[in-house]
Structure 1
Amino acid sequence: MKDFLLDAADRAFRAEVRDVLQRELAPRMADIEERQDWSAVRHVVRALGEAGYLRLMFPDLYQGPLVQPGLTHATILSEEASYLNYAFETTIATALSCAYPLYHFASEPVRDRYLLPILDGTAVGAICVTEPNTGSDSAGMETRIEFDARTNEWVINGFKRYISNASVADVYIAYGLTRDTGKPQDGMTAIAVPATAPGIRFPRNYTFMGRRGCIVGEVEFDDCRVPADHLLGERDGGFRIMLRMFNFERAILGGSGLGVARSAFDIATAHAQHRRAFGQYLGCKELIWDKVARMSWRIDSTELLTYRATKMYDSGIDGKALMKEAAMAKLVATETANFCANETVQILGGDGLTKEYGRAEQIYRDARALTIVGGTSEMAKYLIACRDLPDIRIGL
């Protein structure tokens, strides 16, 4: 690791995080992957909360040694966790994505009730955006949110799917339309919904090819009622909240992809330097040089783009001004993770296909989700092109 854009304090933080994860996460990786043991996940979440790592994004609540904690450090945490187990990292990244709007947009009582337990590691959160007809394109959102003045409550009706931490989260950030203008950015609202709210249900969880141990499922709102003060920000202001949340999420996913890519690369290079074929180490063969070189420059590119985005955010740049850089970090990191996972399996041959000979096959399965979650690669390219073609309107 060269850490081109990180300073001495950042590197010291990385070393500290790595030690904690080796102590808390590494011994539980088999429980998470093989047995999908949620108690193992919760144990590590609590450990990270106790260490103060879930407060990195919120400087006034952070109590650790860093002078200026921020997204850069949260992304380092994401990278190091993903290096060991991307399924686990998904849980904490989702919790932080939930904490972000609570911190910035919730009323003080709601913030105290739901945010602080997430930051302490005693609770987790979830984000409810995706629907059967809505993924990266929020224009298809069908969830409706109405205000009942008689009871002073928000009433939510809708169905969300592919929700990380569904059924196990303690609080959900639900996005829906409070008025139908044909443009969701004008009528979208965000509401904090506790897991105990009447009318919230969890029809089923999904079985994925990878990320075992990460719980993903469906959330249904059937006349779900929450108090008026659970509104985040302003009515009809949910799209702006979601935009800022996505910048945060995409930068974090840059760290996720980087961690997965590094993990695959280390397995591939170790194998190439010890496995002999036709009288030579694999690493002496030109075709293997090519694979290693392609992985190596992609990882360096990922690191530069990811930490450029986080450093920009930590300097005060956000919203549309960060959209392109966050999208680039997410795009390159997740494509690199898939490339490295695929090449690693190829270099390992049969060993790369079996659980008995290491983690290459797990990394291969885990990496595939990265180019889809948090906005597809195609959506990231659209966001980049929007900045680069400012004089015309592109898209649908």
Structure 2
Amino acid sequence: MQDFLLDDTDRAFRSEVRAFLQRELAPRAADIEDRQNWDAVKAVVRSLGEAGYLRLMFADVYKGTLAKPGLTHATILSEEAAAINYAFETTIATALSCAYPLHRHASERVREAYLGPILDGAAVGAICVTEPDAGSDASGLQTRVEFDARTDEWVVNGLKRYISNASVADVYIVYGATPAGDDAKQGLTAVAVPKDARGISFPRNYTFMGRRGCIVGEVKFDDCRVPAGNLLGARGDAFRIMRGMFNFERAILGGSGLGVARSAFAIAREHAQTRRAFGQALGCKQLIWDKIAQMSWRIDAAELITYRATKMYDAGIDGRALMKEAAMAKLVATETANFCANETVQILGGDGITKEYGRAEQLYRDARALTIVGGTSEMAKYLIASRDLPDLKINL
């Protein structure tokens, strides 16, 4: 790993956060993976909050030693956490994706009620976008977010699924369609819904092939009411909020992919150098060193693309101007994680598909989610091509 785009401050921060996670997360990683222990997850979240690491994205409330904290450092945190346990990293990445629109678009009252506890590690948040008939196509959302002028409340009705932190989050950022009003056109609206709001329920949690310990499920809203002040941004303006959130999320997922890829690569390198077959080290075989070389260059390429996007964001570039680069970071890093996890299992052979011989099989299962969550690889390619073919209306 060359970390060409990182400076000495960034590297020192990586060393600091790596040591922290080795103390706090590594001893609990097996408990999270094998027993899906939410108490273990919460304990590490709380430690991260107390240490100030959940404030990296928010310079105005940051209290640490970095002179200019930002997305680069949040992505380093994501990378180092995912290298140890991707399920845990999903929990904090989701909480930060919830904190992002709260920080930028919520009223002061809502920020105090929900943002502060997330940043302190005392609470976690969730983002409610995906539905049974809408995922990447946010324009197809069926959930309704409508204003009741009689009671001065927003009323939410709908079902969201594949929601990370469902049932355990303390606040949910809900995106839904709002009909046209006297002073507004039809569009998407976002509101903050606390866990104890009347009308919110959690029909079921899902069982996934990987990311064990990360709680993912459904969130249902039946005439769920929240105060008018829980609106984020302006009525019907949530596409803009969502776009900024997705840029943030996709860069963070670049870090997630890098962490998983790095862990898999370390296992493959060790095995290639120590395992003997046909009288010599396995890594002497052309088919093996070809796999090692391909993993190596893909990781370096993913790192450069990911931290290019974070450095651009930290330089003040966001919105449509960052959409392509954030999508590239997510695409390349998560595809790299899948490639490295697959090749590592193949290099290890039988040892790669058993839990008794290390984490290779876990990384293989965990990596598969990366090219789906936060926008599929196919959606990332669309976003990239839409910038490179600006005069065409690309047919999804």
Q: Same fold (TM over 0.5)?
A: yes
Partner of 1:67: 67
AA partner of residue 156 (structure 1): V
Instruction: Report the CA distance between 1:393 and its aligned residue.
Output: 1.2
Instruction: Report the CA distance between 1:2 and its aligned residue.
Output: 1.4
Q: Is the 8 A contact 1:309 1:326 kept in 2?
A: yes
Q: Is the 8 A contact 2:128 2:160 kept in 1?
A: yes
**TM-score, normalization by structure 2:** 0.98
> SS of 1:177's equivalent?
strand
Partner of 1:271: 271
Instruction: Report the CA distance between 1:139 and its aligned residue.
Output: 2.1
Query: CA offsets, 1:95-147, max 9 Å, x none?
Result: 00000000000000100110000000000000000000000011221000111
Equivalent residues in 2 for 1:127-206 (5 A)? Answer: 127-179=127-179, 187-206=187-206
Structure 1 gaps, min length 5: none
AA partner of residue 265 (structure 2): F
Q: Distance in 1 between matches of 2:313 and 2:179?
A: 31
Q: Distance in 2 between matches of 1:320 and 1:29?
A: 37
Q: Distance in 1 between matches of 2:75 and 2:243?
A: 18
Partner of 1:247: 247
AA partner of residue 44 (structure 1): V
Q: Is the 8 A contact 2:178 2:186 kept in 1?
A: no
- What is the RMSD of the two structures over their aligned residues, measured on CA atoms? 1.0
Instruction: Report the CA distance between 1:186 and its aligned residue.
Output: 5.5
Query: CA offsets, 1:164-203, max 9 Å, x none?
Result: 000000000000011269xxx9600000000010000000
AA partner of residue 47 (structure 2): A
Q: Distance in 1 between matches of 2:66 and 2:267?
A: 32
> SS of 1:381's equivalent?
helix
Instruction: Report the CA distance between 1:395 and its aligned residue.
Output: 2.1
> SS of 1:273's equivalent?
helix
Structure 2 gaps, min length 5: none
Query: CA offsets, 1:369-395, max 9 Å, x none?
Result: 000000000000000000000111112
Instruction: Report the CA distance between 1:150 and its aligned residue.
Output: 1.1
Q: Distance in 1 between matches of 2:163 and 2:145?
A: 19
Instruction: Report the CA distance between 1:243 and its aligned residue.
Output: 0.5
> SS of 1:156's equivalent?
strand
Q: Is the 8 A contact 1:79 1:256 kept in 2?
A: yes
> SS of 1:159's equivalent?
strand
Q: Distance in 2 between matches of 1:60 and 1:321?
A: 24
The alignment of Structure 1 onto Structure 2 pairs a total of residues equal to: 393
Partner of 1:33: 33
Instruction: Report the CA distance between 1:304 and its aligned residue.
Output: 0.2
> SS of 1:192's equivalent?
strand
Q: What is the aligned-residue identity percentage?
A: 79
**TM-score, normalization by structure 1:** 0.98
AA partner of residue 126 (structure 1): A
Partner of 1:233: 233
Query: CA offsets, 1:26-73, max 9 Å, x none?
Result: 000111000000000000000000110000000010010100000000
Q: Is the 8 A contact 1:186 1:239 kept in 2?
A: no
Q: Is the 8 A contact 2:124 2:169 kept in 1?
A: yes
Moved segments of 4+, more than 2 Å: none
AA partner of residue 290 (structure 1): D
Q: Is the 8 A contact 1:14 1:77 kept in 2?
A: yes
Partner of 2:322: 322
Q: Distance in 2 between matches of 1:350 and 1:180?
A: 59
AA partner of residue 251 (structure 1): A
AA partner of residue 352 (structure 1): G
Instruction: Report the CA distance between 1:85 and its aligned residue.
Output: 0.3
Q: Is the 8 A contact 2:54 2:121 kept in 1?
A: yes
Q: Does 1:352 align with 2:352?
A: yes
Query: CA offsets, 1:283-328, max 9 Å, x none?
Result: 1111111000000000000000000000000000000000000000
Q: Distance in 1 between matches of 2:298 and 2:145?
A: 43
Q: Distance in 2 between matches of 1:139 and 1:304?
A: 32
AA partner of residue 379 (structure 2): M
Partner of 1:94: 94
Partner of 1:23: 23
Partner of 1:4: 4
Q: Distance in 1 between matches of 2:394 and 2:342?
A: 33
Q: Distance in 2 between matches of 1:45 and 1:146?
A: 34
